[in-house]
Amino acid sequence: MIQKLYGRTDKFLRDRMHWKAPARALFFYYILQFYEQVLAVVPITLCLVITIGIYFQRTVNSPGTLAGGLISAMVGLVLFVDGLRVAIMPLGSLLGQQLPEQFKVRYILVVACAIGILVTYAEPAIASLRPLANLVKRCDTPYLFFVLNDMSEILVLSIGLGVGVAAMIGVLRFLRNWSLKPLIALGLSPTIACACYMKWGNPELSPLIGLAWDCGAVTTGPVTVPILLSLGIGVMKGSAARRDARDGFGIITLASTFPILAVELMSIFISLRYSSEDIRTDFGKIDCSQLNGTETGLEVKETDAQLVLSAFTFAIRSILPLNVFLIIMIVLVLWKPLPKISSLLLGILESQMGMTLFNIGLSFGFTALGDQSGVLLPSAFLETSSFPGSPYYAKGPGIAIVMVTIFVLGFLATRAEPALRVMGKTVELLSGGQFGANMLVYTVCVGVGCGMVAGSSKILFGVNIIYMILGKYAAASLLTIFASEDFTNIAWDSAGVTTGPVTVPFVLSIGIGFSKATSAQEGFGILTCASVAPIITVLLTDRLRTMYGQAVKAYVQRRLSQMRSVGVQCEPEEGKELLEDGKRNGGEEAEKEWRKLVDSSTQFDMEDLDEVDVEDVWVIEAAC
């Protein structure tokens, strides 16, 4: 059906519209990219809309505006990602390839750090933090309010510095061929130590733990990872280093770990400089006892026109510095001509338009739907002031409705991530088919769903996030010890590919909605739980797969040794019926192995053990 539709559309564009082949190819390319965004956005939207309609007998607020916002976000992502492909990626690769030829490693590291900072500003998901600042109460969580409102630029800069440090370490890892496991320990040890201090050393900073760890998930999006990879691969080419596809893994892990540490250090520094009481009273300007803790960051409500203008301004501020920096480095530092200037300018303009449309969709689509869902879902089992007559269900069924919805939401959002499908195909290729693409995809999807359920319980039931962090990362670290280097890279990188520009705004706004409905201090933490859970599920799946393979191999070796010890030989005329059964049950490999044995009429060679599976033994035993 799709092929017929494609053929008819192509014929219409060629015969009626008189489009040439390049124009038709570009049209279908954009359609395909838009279809990928539809696969990411529509399932999540339908899940929430159907849940609201069926279980709560309600409709979404302003459905027309919501639909327009979602479409704007999808179109914006298509244009933005294509602009990256045309303009920024080639510049990053060229810069990485030429730097080692003209500069020493220390200068390369400085450039990598600068790029790491700039790509953070260009990351679409970073924009999702802006609307959340309006939902945090000054008097309840002063430091969280202060960071998201008064220190928002410092927050993004801190995240960028973390990505910059990760970029430096990633470049060194590309050049020195470092193992990822020590780097994970290097990044996690101080990060967890700072989180423990924020919980027990200075409890006033406790609400910032969820924000800091969620920032690690926000950074690994469609800008940061491809640019850092293109830079690193360019450095490898320029340094004449020989690497295989496995070396592409690991950069996502670094780019999601060090920003957490940077935000934690920033929070600790702020607490040393400003007291919580000064922030609560806005340095003597506000009396919290009169406000009853109701003041949030929303001082002046922006009109729709102001929101659009703000989205455009934010897009220019996000993308333009990165483009200017790359162009200056190539033209004025490396003294190289820019590749395809017309395409470059078109790509820059396209990315600017895409980011603007995405920011508009973020305000009118993702954040609006996520916040409404987050406020409504807890009323399934809790009495909330926003919905008279709540709770709608008994506690048990109500909790089940919320948790199943959150699990399905995480599963569908992850299943639609294009980066995860690409990673799955790469893993299948690298493992020789032993770890299939679908196995990785669904393992990660289940992990994200379970992680989102755990993160939601933190907000809904007041579970302390520090215990979740310690428990989950202890499990992930323990499994990492027994994992191979390749699967360590794959598992830890899977945490980053699950948090794209579609998932992050939905999850963050739902978390804030949960916090408003339950009067929790803050609504962060779902993203970090959703990020670490896939690490555990992928490592655990690989461990179980390895243990099963070892058990099968031991069984095969034991049975064949027994057969060999009694001098059993295979006769061609025996077991023909069982051969057909073996063909049906054991597959073509079993039949091939059986025929090899009966044709040679010799005992089984133990050197061929690795080629034999347990089904082969059943066929061999039956025929001998």
pLDDT level of residue 308 (50, 70, 90 thresholds): confident
The neighbouring-strand residues paired with 137 are 296
pLDDT for res 247: 56
54-106 pLDDT tens trace: 999 888 888 899 999 999 999 998 998 898 888 888 888 788 778 877 888 88
From CA 296, how far away is CA 149, in angstroms rounded? 9
Residue 611 pLDDT = 47
Backbone angles phi, psi at 137, to 5 degrees: -90, 130
Between CA 117 and CA 122 the distance in angstroms is 9
User: Cβ atoms within 10 A of the Cβ of 18, count?
Assistant: 8
Predicted confidence (pLDDT) at residue 599 exceeds the cutoff of 80: no
Instruction: Report which of 336, 83, 32 is spatially closest to residue 226, judged by C-alpha positions.
Output: 83
Amino acid sitting at position 313: T
User: Residue 127 above 70 pLDDT?
Assistant: yes
Q: What is the pLDDT of residue 434?
A: 72
pLDDT digits (tens, 9 = 90+) for 131-188: 677 777 788 889 999 998 888 889 999 999 999 999 899 888 878 888 888 999 999 9
User: Does the pLDDT of residue 407 top 50, yes or no?
Assistant: yes
User: Cα-flanking dihedrals φ and ψ of residue 296, to 5°?
Assistant: -115, -175
Looking at residue 426, its pLDDT comes to: 73
Q: Is 103 exposed, middle or buried (0-12, 13-18, 19+ CB in 10 A)?
A: middle
Identify the pLDDT of residue 560: 62
Please tell me the total number of residues recorded for the chain in this structure.
624
User: Is residue 608 pLDDT above 70, yes or no?
Assistant: no
Q: What is the pLDDT of residues 412-470, one digit of tens each?
A: 888 877 777 777 877 777 777 777 888 888 999 999 999 999 999 988 988 889 999 99
Q: What is the dihedral of CA 43, 68, 297, 458, to 10 degrees?
A: -10
Q: Residue 180 half-sphere exposure, CB side, CA atoms within 13 Å?
A: 27
pLDDT at 584 over 70: no
pLDDT of res. 562: 64
State the helix-helix crossing angle for 503-518 and 367-376, rounded to 10 degrees: 40
Q: Residue 483: pLDDT above 50? A: yes
When comparing pLDDT for 278 and 579, which is higher?
278
Residue 604 has pLDDT above 60, yes or no: no
**Count of CB atoms within 10 A of residue 557's CB?**
14
Query: Is the pLDDT higher at 297 or at 261?
Result: 261
Average pLDDT over residues 602-610: 42
Between these two residues, 159 and 490, which has the higher pLDDT value?
Answer: 159
Res. 351: pLDDT tops 80: yes
> Of the given ranges (206-215, 252-261, 312-321), which has the lowest mean pLDDT?
312-321
Highest mean pLDDT among 168-177, 243-252, 588-597: 168-177
| CA 19 – CA 319 distance, rounded (Å) | 32
Q: State the pLDDT at residue 18.
A: 76
> Higher confidence at residue 166 or residue 250?
166
In this model, does residue 226 exceed pLDDT 80?
no
CA distance 555 to 543: 18
DSSP structure class, residue 1: -
What's the pLDDT at 507?
Answer: 86
Tell which wins on pLDDT, 245 or 239: 239
122/224 Cα distance (integer angstroms)? 8
Q: In the structure, what pLDDT confidence band is assigned to residue 520 with cuts at 50, 70 and 90?
A: confident
Give 545-567 pLDDT, tens digit per residue: 888 777 777 776 676 666 555 54
pLDDT at 221: 76
pLDDT at 238: 58
Extract the tokens encoding 211: 């924000």
Question: pLDDT at position 236, please?
Answer: 66
Confidence category of residue 15, pLDDT binned at 50, 70, 90 = confident
Predicted confidence band of residue 574 (pLDDT cuts 50, 70, 90) = very low
* Per-residue pLDDT tens over the stretch 266-305: 999 999 999 888 888 877 677 676 665 555 554 445 666 7
Q: Over range 360-370, report the average pLDDT.
A: 86
Task: Give the 3-state secondary structure of 305-346.
Answer: HHHHHHHHHHHHHHHHHHHHHHHHHHHHHCCCCCCCHHHHHH
Mean pLDDT for 105-110 is 86
What's the mean per-residue pLDDT of the chain?
A: 80
Q: How far apart are CA 76 and CA 192, in angstroms?
A: 36
What mean pLDDT is predicted for residues 318-322?
A: 85
Residue type, 266: M
Q: What is the residue-wise DSSP string for 466-502?
A: HHHHHHHHHHHHHHHHHS-HHHHHHHHHHHHHT--TT
Residues 381-404 have a mean pLDDT of 88
How far apart (Å, rounded) are the C-alpha atoms in residues 466 and 209?
8
Judged by average pLDDT, the poorest of 227-231, 235-239, 449-453, 605-609 is 605-609
